[in-house]
């Protein structure tokens, strides 16, 4: 049996691939390299460059590698940009998932682990989000992730698909210096690039009703996220029950000011963040309860905040003149 990881050359997908290899599970990668990096795929792992929008290609990969399950990480993941590019976001995330599911059905592949997002909740009116918290996505990106969950639900009813969705929040850190977060929109790389350019990082708002006035969010290590994907795949292989969706969160969260202090501490680069006005729509606090994932997927926060920063910084330094 072989698991296909779509988007397996990306920051999160490449970590998932490494965890499959660590438990001796066969894995193949399909990625169009629009945001991933070929170098992130470990040597010896079969790799096909292409898009999930190409159903014929997906079917060929499934046939050639005897694929029995899919971890679907590929997608357009920039929530803010999705507001400016809604059609592109829907094409990549909804059309792509539909084509992928159709190819799976045609080839008798009935297992999927789906990379979902906290964005399905939008701006909740509770401090701690559970899987039952009402869904109210506030961006095309969040909408497409929720639709992806609906597509799997409906395909489960129609064709017997067995699946789960993993909703994660702010993914940070690295489990290998060869894999780093190259997103131009995520907090850690934005701060790192500012420091490397000799600029001062910025905090958007310090007047929220939180202990230090800055937003409180869930930050989870990418290695822990990857382990949860593999645990879900194992349960699907073993025909063990899974919830339709799991939150991968800490239940506590950390503030943006705490993140900045940890980055200064770990990198040894002293700085005092500049304070900018709040961004419209940013809630004071969003963290997720991960109890269901702990019960079923051995979900744990295995890394301290300093661990997360140190691993991310080490990987970024190893990348040298990264893009």
Q: Choose the most confident range, by mean pLDDT, from 73-82, 83-92, 116-125.
A: 83-92
In a 3-state reduction of DSSP, which class is residue 116?
A: strand
pLDDT at position 281:
66
pLDDT at 323 over 60: no
Residues 6+ apart with CB under 8 A from 132: none
Q: Name the DSSP class of 171.
A: E
DSSP output for 237-289: HTT----SEEEE--SS-EEHHHHHHHHHHHH------EEEPPPTT--SEEEE-
Domain edges within the chain = 2-171+219-248, 173-218+250-318
pLDDT at position 282:
74
C-alpha 92/C-alpha 110 separation (Å) is 21
Would you name the residues annotated as active-site residues?
141
C-alpha 151/C-alpha 188 separation (Å) is 32
In this prediction, residue 322 has a pLDDT band, given cuts at 50, 70 and 90, of low
C-alpha 155/C-alpha 162 separation (Å) is 9
C-alpha 262/C-alpha 244 separation (Å) is 35
Residues 6+ apart with CB under 8 A from 259: 187, 188, 191, 219, 305, 309
pLDDT at position 78:
86
Which CATH code of 3.90.25.10, 3.90.79.10, 3.40.1010.10, 3.40.50.10790 fits the domain covering 173-218+250-318?
Answer: 3.90.25.10
Q: Is domain 2-171+219-248 given the CATH code 3.30.830.10 in the classification?
A: no
Give the C-alpha distances (Å, rounded to integers) separating 5 from 13, 118, 211, 268: 7, 21, 40, 37
Average pLDDT rounded to a whole number, residues 131-158: 96
Q: What is the pLDDT of residues 215-263, one digit of tens each?
A: 999 999 999 999 999 999 999 999 999 999 999 999 889 999 999 999 9
pLDDT at position 320:
78
C-alpha 82/C-alpha 90 separation (Å) is 9
Tokens 């792992």 belong to residue = 45
In this prediction, residue 1 has a pLDDT band, given cuts at 50, 70 and 90, of confident
pLDDT at position 16:
98
Residue 272 burial by CB count (10 A; 0-12/13-18/19+): exposed, middle or buried? exposed
Nearest CA among 290, 284, 291 for reference residue 127: 284
- The number of beta carbons lying within 10 Å of the beta carbon of residue 315 is 22
C-alpha 220/C-alpha 212 separation (Å) is 21
> Across the chain, what does the average pLDDT equal?
95
C-alpha 276/C-alpha 254 separation (Å) is 19
Give the C-alpha distances (Å, rounded to integers) separating 222 from 133, 169, 173, 320: 24, 11, 6, 21
Q: Indicate the pairing of strand 274-276 with strand 162-168.
A: unpaired
Confidence (pTM): 0.95
């Amino acid at each position: 049996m072989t698991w296909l990881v779509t988007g397996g050359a990306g920051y999160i997908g490449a970590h998932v691939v490494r965890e499959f290899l660590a438990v001796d599970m066969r894995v193949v990668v399909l990625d169009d390299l629009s945001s991933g990096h070929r170098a992130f795929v470990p040597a010896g792992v079969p790799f096909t460059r292409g898009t999930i929008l190409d159903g014929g290609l997906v079917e060929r990969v499934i046939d050639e590698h005897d694929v029995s399950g899919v971890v679907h990480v590929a997608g357009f993941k920039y929530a803010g940009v999705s507001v400016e590019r809604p059609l592109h976001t829907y094409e990549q995330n909804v059309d792509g998932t539909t084509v992928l599911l159709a190819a799976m059905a045609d080839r008798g592949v009935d297992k999927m682990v789906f990379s979902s997002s906290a964005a399905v909740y939008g701006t909740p009116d509770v401090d701690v989000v559970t899987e039952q918290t009402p869904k109210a996505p506030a961006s095309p990106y969040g909408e497409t992730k929720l639709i992806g969950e609906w597509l799997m639900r409906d395909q489960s009813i129609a064709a017997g698909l067995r699946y789960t969705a993993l909703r994660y929040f702010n993914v940070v850190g690295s489990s290998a210096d060869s894999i780093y977060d190259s997103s131009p929109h995520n907090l850690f790389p934005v701060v790192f690039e500012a420091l490397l350019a000799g600029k001062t990082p910025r905090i958007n708002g310090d007047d929220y009703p939180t202990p230090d006035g800055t937003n409180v969010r869930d930050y989870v290590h990418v290695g822990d996220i990857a382990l949860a994907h593999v645990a879900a795949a194992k349960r699907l292989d073993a025909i063990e029950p899974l919830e339709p969706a799991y939150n991968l969160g800490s239940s506590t969260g950390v503030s943006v000011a705490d993140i900045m202090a940890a980055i200064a501490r770990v990198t040894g680069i002293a700085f005092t963040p500049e304070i900018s006005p709040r961004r419209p729509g940013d809630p004071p606090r969003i963290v997720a309860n991960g109890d269901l994932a702990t019960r079923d997927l051995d979900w744990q926060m295995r890394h301290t905040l300093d661990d997360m920063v140190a691993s991310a910084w080490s990987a970024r330094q190893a990348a040298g003149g990264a893009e």
